[in-house]
Structures are given as C-alpha cells and as structure tokens.
Structure 1
Amino acid sequence: MIRVTDRIAIDENDLTFTFVQASGPGGQNVNKVATAAALRWPLWAANGVPWDVKMRVAGLAGRRLTQDGEIVIVAQRFRTQERNRADAIERLVGLLREAAEPPKPRIATKPTYASRVRRVDDKARRGAVKRTRRVVPGIDEE
C-alpha cells in the first residue's frame, strides 16, 4: 500500500507499468533501452480512495484520464526505468494529495457602494448616448 494521506491509500498491485523508448537524455543508449515509464491506475476501481476525492481527481487529471477510467502518467525525465517509475508514482501521489484537499467554499459578498454608483453612472451615460441617436418625429423625417 502506498499511503497518500491519513485517509487515502492506493494498492501497489493496482498500478500497471509499461516501459517504452524515451525521447530526451540518454545518449547512444536512448535508442536501445526502454526507459520511459507509463503508469496506468484504474481510478474508479480503486478501493482506498473516497468517492469525493475520485471526482476531484477526475477533474484535475484532464487528458490523463482515459475513457476507461484509467489515469495514465508517462514519466521520461530520467535515464533509468527505476527513477522514471518512482517519478510516475510520485506524480500520481501528488495528484491525489491535491485532490484530497476539499475546495474552499465560496463566500458571497455584496458589491461595494462605489461599484454600485459606478454601475448606475455608466448606465445613465449609456442611456444618454442612445437618446442622442433617437429619431425625433417631425424634425428628422423628410
């Protein structure tokens, strides 16, 4: 089990890794060895994650969430499989930690007196502009 927070843990057996050739650093070795780690984790099937956190993870994951409900994280910053594997796990844990914090509730505020006065003044000014564009009967008709 990978402990994310005190109430969230993910099972290491749920994590699936595939290794592919990475772009980037590696020199001549980069074309021979599959060092990039692609981590797949089934979000909706995870047992150690509360439902509200799953919903926030789905929103935060964006394109990393597949239609099958799996989160895919590709790590290729490092030259070795082990470091890329650890980096992918670390990024998944970071995503879960970010989603574990509930959003702050919005506190409704009233518009200030000055903003209400500005709004009324702008409306009056706009109305005056429109009044000058009116067709006056008898004078403007030809």
Structure 2
Amino acid sequence: MTETITVLLVDEDQDILDITATFLEREDEALDVLPVTETATALETVQEQPERVDCVISDYSMPEMTGVEFFQSVREVDPDVPFFFFTGRDRQQIEAELGEQSVTGYVQKGTGTERYADLATEIRDAVDA
C-alpha cells in the first residue's frame, strides 16, 4: 500500500480547487488533496496539525494575503514543508518579492492537463526527498 501524501491546496476559486484536486488525485493515488479557499483556514491547519500536511500548494493572488505572505507564514510554522505556487502570476515577479527565500516549485495555471502530471511528480519528489 502506498503512503498517503496530504496536500494542502489553497486558492480562492472553488472551481480551480475542484479541478486541481481531481487531476492530482488521478495522477497519483497516494495524493490526498485538502482544498481550502481561505488562507486563514489553511494557516490554521498548518499551525494546529503540521504533521497532517506533507505539502502546500498555493495561488499567489488571494483576498486575505498574497501567496508570498502566506508562504512566509507557513515557513514560520514549518520551514521544511514543500511549498509550490500554482498561479497565473509571472515567476520572476514572485521570485523578486521572495528575495532570498525560495519555494519548492512553480506551476503555471492554464489550459491542458499535463501540468497536473508534472505537479504530481514534483510533489512526490519533494516529499520523498
């Protein structure tokens, strides 16, 4: 039996959450996606149950805080959890805002399903590392 990898997926758009969760779980049966629309709820999950979260995937543009602010808050609780941005935002713009900090990876939102296969592989690799 494959060990379950719990992925905290954060995006304010419920449709994107549903599609992303479905495709990721299809790509890798070990992935258990926990979709959350609010960064406060997601951060609470990381703070109260850090052992439950094996990986975090976040959009950049959200109403309560930016993805970078959310990333920094997650890093204060768990500096080692793999963290990916799944966003339409330009990677260089996010990297400039991150400065010296770095995330595990970036995946560009858009059409096509191959991005989910790539993201599932990157999640598996990051968690296994």
Please, what TM-score do these two structures have when normalized by structure 2?
A: 0.28
Structure with larger RCO (C-alpha < 8 A, sep 6+): 2
Please, what TM-score do these two structures have when normalized by structure 1?
A: 0.26
Task: Compare CA radii of gyration and give the structure with the larger one.
Answer: 1
